[in-house]
Chains A and B, each alone.
Chain A
Amino acid sequence: MNADDHIMLARLIAALPPAPRGWVGAAQELPVARRGIDGIVARAVADAAYRERVVADLESALADAGIEPTPPLLDELRERFRSI
């Protein structure tokens, strides 16, 4: 095996550094977050006062449910509330 092969392999290995651990962890939590959003929506359907509080502050609603309020999850919750 020559030096060029080493350089080519090294370059390709280096091209994929790890994503930050926190990002990976948040993405892995998506199924749990989805279930949490389902719970928020179900409660909001049944409880008008709770629904108003959630609409007023989506971030807190997610955080209170133990879900990190990332922009995609906030968008999803907003979207779900539009159809209630």
Chain B
Amino acid sequence: MAAVQGSDAQLVARCRRGEAAAWDELVERFSRYVFAICTQGFRFAQHDAEDVFQDVFTRVYAHLDRLRDDEAFRPWLAQLTRRACIDKLRANGREAPVEELEPSELDETLSMLDEALTIHEAMAALPENCRDILDRFFAQDESYRTIGDALGLPAGTIASRISRCLDKLKSLMEETDADARLEAG
């Protein structure tokens, strides 16, 4: 899992300037989010999810100039993905109003995924070994043995490391919240 560098707005601005590395980074940063909206929010099977995934990033690349506020990239992307999913359902022959096509608990799922993305971005501030171990265990569902082999750590120490890394992440989140409250006055 790569470290996140710079805000979403800074990254979008770099993409607009045509920096190839920035586009790679933007795709990397938001690929999980788009993938999750397709597969968890709309429960698409892999084949359809792949079509929507490519469609979304094609639309982002083509229409990034239309985004008025770079700070609003994330909700814009979520909305764009939602529309691409609806288009896919319609292309697959589902004819119904949008509210009937969208799964009933979609808003709750999107809200949870938004929170999950915030946590993943916060993980960027963790030491690399913590970031790696948490991502491998929880997001990639790797076993203690696999993680131990990959990171050169005894498998018996993985559980305690995970616990310590979660503590660090929680502290980071609390600091960030406190900073945000201070900035808000």
Contacts and interface: CB of A to CB of B under 8 A. Distances in A.
Interface residues of A, number: 27
Contacts of A19: 31-32, 34-35, 53
A46 interface: no
Interface string A5-33: 11001101111111110011011101100
A34 B163 CA distance: 45
A70 B52 CA distance: 11
A20 B35 CA distance: 9
* Residue from A14, A24, A27 having most chain B Cβ neighbours under 10 A: A27
A56 interface: no
Given A9-B166, A9-B170, A28-B23, A16 B57 contact: no
Main secondary structure of the interface of A (DSSP, over half): helix
Contacts of A38: none
A64 interface: no
Given A14-B139, A23-B50, A1 B23 contact: no
Contacts, number: 100
A73 interface: yes
Interface of B: 1, 20, 23-24, 27-28, 31-36, 40, 46, 50-51, 53-55, 57-59, 61, 112-113, 115-117, 119-120, 123, 134-135, 138-141, 163, 166-167, 169-170
Interface of A: 1, 5-6, 9-10, 12-20, 23-24, 26-28, 30-31, 34, 70-73, 76
Given A70-B54, A72-B54, 20 more contacts: A9-B119, A9-B166, A13-B120, A14-B138, A17-B35, A17-B139, A18-B140, A19-B34, A19-B35, A20-B46, A23-B35, A23-B54, A27-B27, A27-B31, A27-B57, A30-B23, A30-B58, A31-B20, A72-B55, A76-B58
